[in-house]
């Protein structure tokens, strides 16, 4: 029996935060060493941050990354640590991992498969390293091996898969198994998406089982660069199964997990596997003098699942959505150095969801961290520090209801009641006089009175637009972040007023569809997150049919009346944008999916979607940054590109009309 402890640490890093990133890495190393860990895996590109974008190509950034690596190196005495950074070699830049062993750099391993889909643009900055190639890199007056390497550290054989390497069909694990590695380390930067954690678990377990090796996976944590949220997560697996896991959505700087493995048991498992023999060419073995700390045999308890109670419940998607957006908001607030959130609260579903998520961000952080730590992380000084968590929510969240002549008592009462239930500061602005002034000014300019029959869109939009300056001003006075309340369904068809309800520096729910958002609000009203409970005040919001409330009350305006049922809209969006179906094919799918609706009505809704989609790309280009919540998104800056000017699907829609008329 040959026992050693291995582990990983998820880190909440920030792009180009050199000192902060270094200090969190050093703290993670110290904590792991104190816990008896001999081999530690840290996340991908954790020195620079993963979200550096085109800064990865800066020679100065690459030099600083090496400089920081040198500052970390002496802190690795008595431990082997995998640390990610960009590395220039010959004519290319590579996504690489440095293995630091007992105070010195042993070598550099480079990523072989780059993520280039969806939110990922790695091929823009990096080159893939060819499998089997090894070379030497001169840096700081010394020469170190670089490439497709494996390390023999005091008899413990270590290999690497770097994030995307494990997601591809020809993953490096097979070659590592043939080389007889004992431990595979996977430094990752895998952004959150619904259900993605289960996929990660499967490839970690399969890597350990198929290779007869221990497998350590360490992910990034938090809102690193603005849009992507990393849920963290550390996995330690053996051929027989998972032996340790780290928590997800942690609000602290780190989340770690480690486990004791038996090298003799691993090698017994390896001896029972059949692998193609590997010759000496391309072997890439680097021998490092190192003596991993031995662990005394002890009675081994059954491996813990490691999941929080909410992950084992029946509402995982609702919990994931809550915790992902709450963590995203919390990190965005503190990393942008803003002094709170301001929400233009209409009493409807979207603004109510945003207000709830902002309050939940503070409450979830306060549930995990000491109150003083939450206050410090949000930038309050000892002079202005709130006395307790309730006071902190009020200091952070301000809700403003802005009424016009078309605003009703139901939405006003819902907005006020929810703000009070959340503990937010609440204000009412009467903007009707501003609406009248702008309307009269425009009437004089065109030489006639404006009427609802002739000027419907203009009269609706001015009400939304006059609401923006007041909340912007309040946010500016307080140094706070104005949060936009646009959702994904309405972004798809441009059902939002630019410089009105789209105003804000961040759009946290622009990645989630309205149909799901309404279901989540009902869950939050009746059940709520594990450990925090429900928000009953949402009953006044959920009882309403969603409405912009911009036409006179007698018009009976509803969002679905203006557009179409949200479940139909969301289905068309998936067919058109995710699946790239043209109007006729999308309509035929709708006819099968929605038999309760007349096919001609479905055709009309399909046409409406495609017309509005193509006309409103310019709006999506101007939306505030949004969070990525699933792997199908409308954000044109990182996911879904579409021309601002186009033919508008005219030929395709003619084919749809002809088919629907038959």
Distance CA 179, CA 213 (A): 11
3-state secondary structure of 391: helix
Three-state DSSP state, 317: helix
- Residues 403/408/414/415 CA torsion (nearest 10 deg): -10
E strand spans, 271-404: 285-288, 341-344, 397-403
Q: CA angle, corner 56, sides to 54 and 59, nearest 5?
A: 115
Q: pTM value?
A: 0.95
Fold of 3-295: Nitrilase/N-carbamoyl-D-aminoacid amidohydrolase (3.60.110)
Sign of CA dihedral 607, 589, 638, 229: positive
Give the tens place of pLDDT for each residue, 410-456.
999 999 999 999 999 999 999 999 999 999 999 999 999 999 999 99
**What is the pLDDT at residue 252?**
96
What CATH class is the domain 318-431+466-543? alpha beta
Q: Is residue 151 within 8 Å of residue 158, measured between CB atoms? A: yes
* Residue 410 to residue 416: CA distance in whole angstroms: 10
pLDDT at 307: 74
> Which segments within 80-227 are labelled E, that is strand?
80-89, 92-101, 104-110, 134-139, 142-147, 150-153, 156-160, 183-187, 214-218, 221-223
pLDDT for 277 equals 54
Q: Which two tokens stand for residue 87?
A: 């590395």
Q: Rounded distance, CA 409 to CA 392, Å?
A: 29
Q: Which residues of the chain have pLDDT under 50?
A: 279-281, 301-302
């Amino acid at each position: 029996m040959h026992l050693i402890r291995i582990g990983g640490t998820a880190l909440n890093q920030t792009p180009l935060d050199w000192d902060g990133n270094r200090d969190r890495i050093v703290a993670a190393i110290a904590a792991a060493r104190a816990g008896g860990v001999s081999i530690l895996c840290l996340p991908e590109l954790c020195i620079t941050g993963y979200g550096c974008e085109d800064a990865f190509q800066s020679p100065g950034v690459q030099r600083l990354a090496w400089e920081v690596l040198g500052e970390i190196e002496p802190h690795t005495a008595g431990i082997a640590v995998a640390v990610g950074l960009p590395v220039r070699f010959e004519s290319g830049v590579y996504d690489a991992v440095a293995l630091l062993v007992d105070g010195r750099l042993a070598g550099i391993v480079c990523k072989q498969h780059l993520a280039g889909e969806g939110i990922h643009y790695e091929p823009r900055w990096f080159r893939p390293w060819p499998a089997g190639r090894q070379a030497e890199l001169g840096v700081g007056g010394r020469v170190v091996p670089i490439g497709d390497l494996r390390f023999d550290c005091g008899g413990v054989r270590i290999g690497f898969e770097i994030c995307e390497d494990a997601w591809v069909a020809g993953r490096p694990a097979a070659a590592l198994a043939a080389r007889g590695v004992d431990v595979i380390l996977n430094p990752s930067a895998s952004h959150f998406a619904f259900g993605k954690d289960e996929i990660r678990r499967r490839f970690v377990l399969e890597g350990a089982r198929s290779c007869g090796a221990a497998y350590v996976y360490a992910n990034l944590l938090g809102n690193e660069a603005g849009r992507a949220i990393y849920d963290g997560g550390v996995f330690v697996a053996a051929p027989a199964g998972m032996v340790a896991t780290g928590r997800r959505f942690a609000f602290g700087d780190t989340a770690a997990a480690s486990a004791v493995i038996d090298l003799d048991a691993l090698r017994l498992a390896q001896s029972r596997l059949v692998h193609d023999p590997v010759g000496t060419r391309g072997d890439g073995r680097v021998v490092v003098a190192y003596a991993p700390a031995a662990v005394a045999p002890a009675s081994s308890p059954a491996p813990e699942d490691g999941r929080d109670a909410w992950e084992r419940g029946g509402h995982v998607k609702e919990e994931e959505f809550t915790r992902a957006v709450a963590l995203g908001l919390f990190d965005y607030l503190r990393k942008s150095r803003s002094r709170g959130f301001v929400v233009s609260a209409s009493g409807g579903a979207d603004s109510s969801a945003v207000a709830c998520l902002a309050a939940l961000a503070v409450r979830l952080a306060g549930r995990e961290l000491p109150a003083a730590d939450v206050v410090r992380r949000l930038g309050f000084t000892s002079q202005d520090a709130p006395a307790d968590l309730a006071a902190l929510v009020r200091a952070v969240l301000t809700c403003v209801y802005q009424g016009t002549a078309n605003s009703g008592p139901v939405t006003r009462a819902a907005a006020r009641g929810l703000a009070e239930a959340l503990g937010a500061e609440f204000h009412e602005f009467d903007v009707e006089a501003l609406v009248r002034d702008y309307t009269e000014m425009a009437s004089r300019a065109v030489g006639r009175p404006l009427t609802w029959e002739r000027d419907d869109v203009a009269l609706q939009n001015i009400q939304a637009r006059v609401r923006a300056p007041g909340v912007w001003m309040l946010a500016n006075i307080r140094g706070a972040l104005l949060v936009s309340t646009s959702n994904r369904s309405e972004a798809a068809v441009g059902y939002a007023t630019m410089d009105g309800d789209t105003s804000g520096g961040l759009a946290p729910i622009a990645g989630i569809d309205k149909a799901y958002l309404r279901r989540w609000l009902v869950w939050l009203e009746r059940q709520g997150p594990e450990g925090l409970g429900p928000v009953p005040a949402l009953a006044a919001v959920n009882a309403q049919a969603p409405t912009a409330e911009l036409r006179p009350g007698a018009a009976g305006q509803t969002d679905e009346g203006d557009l179409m049922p949200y479940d139909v809209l969301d289905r068309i969006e998936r067919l058109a944008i995710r699946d790239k179906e043209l109007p006729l094919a999308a309509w035929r799918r709708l006819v099968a999916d929605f038999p309760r609706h007349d096919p001609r009505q479905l055709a009309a809704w399909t046409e409406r979607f495609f017309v509005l989609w193509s006309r409103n790309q310019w709006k999506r280009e101007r939306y505030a940054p949004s969070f990525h919540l699933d792997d199908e998104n409308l954000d044109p800056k990182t996911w879904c590109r579409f021309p601002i000017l186009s033919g508008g699907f005219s030929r395709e829609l003619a084919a749809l009309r002809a088919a629907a008329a038959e």
